[in-house]
Amino acid sequence: MRSRAFDQVGRRVLLCAFLALLLAGCQGKPASTSSGSDIAIPDQEARNFTLTESSEGKKSWTLWASYAAMYNDRGLVDARTVRIDFFNAKGDRYSTLTADQGKVFQRTDNLEARGRVKITTASGVTLETDSLQWINTKSRIVSDAFVRVTRKGDVVTGYGFESDASLDHFHLSHQVQAEVREQAGADSLP
C-alpha cells in the first residue's frame, strides 16, 4: 500500500513538473526587464506645492499643484492638479489657468498644460482646450489642439491658436467657427 500511494504522489509531482516545463516552453522569450536607466526618478517630490516666478522683484506667476516632481538635471517641474495665477507689471492678477497636469521648464520659464485646460481672465474671457504652452520669450500662449474661446457670450473655436497673455488679441489658423450672440439691449439689424 505504501508503494502505491508513493507512486501516485510521485506521478503527480512528475506530472506537475512536466506541465510547468511545458508551459514555460510555450511562453517564448522572457519579457525584457528595464535596466533602470530609462526610469526617471525625481530629485524631489512635494505635495500641495507652490512655485512663484518673479522678475526684478515683481511676481510674474504663481503655480499651485497637488503634487509636483522636480528633475534637476532636466530643469523640469512636473505637476498634477494645477492652478496658475498670472500677474501684470502692477502685480494685479489678470488670468488664472487650471489643468490636470502642468510642466515648468525652468531653464526657459516655458509652461505646458494638459488635460481639461481652462484659462479665465479678469476681463471675463475663457479659453478651454486639452493642451497649450506658454512661450516665455515671446509672452505668447500657443496650442495646436482644439480651442474654445468665450467672450461676452460669443464663442470662437478652431485649431492653431496663438494669443497674448491677456487673451485680448488671439488668432486661430484653421477650422475656425464663430457663434456671435446678440447682446440684450443692442440694436438689431433689420
Q: What parts of the chain have a pLDDT lower than 50?
A: 1-34, 185-190
Angle subtended at Cα 114 by Cα 111 and Cα 117, rounded to the nearest 5 degrees: 95
Residue 63 is predicted with a pLDDT of 85
Q: What is the pTM of this model?
A: 0.70
- Helix H, strand E, coil C: the string for 52-119 is EEEECCEEEEEEEEEEEEEEHHHCEEEEEEEEEEEECCCCCEEEEEEEEEEEEECCCCEEEEEEEEEE
Query: Residue 108 in contact with residue 137, Cβ under 8 Å?
Result: yes
Residue 183 is predicted with a pLDDT of 61
pLDDT digits (tens, 9 = 90+) for 147-169: 999 988 889 999 999 998 788 88
Residue 72 is predicted with a pLDDT of 93
- Tell me the CATH class for 44-179: mainly beta
Contacts of 42 (CB under 8 A, 6+ apart): 69, 70, 71, 78
In angstroms, the CA 138 to CA 152 distance is 27
Residue 55 is predicted with a pLDDT of 81
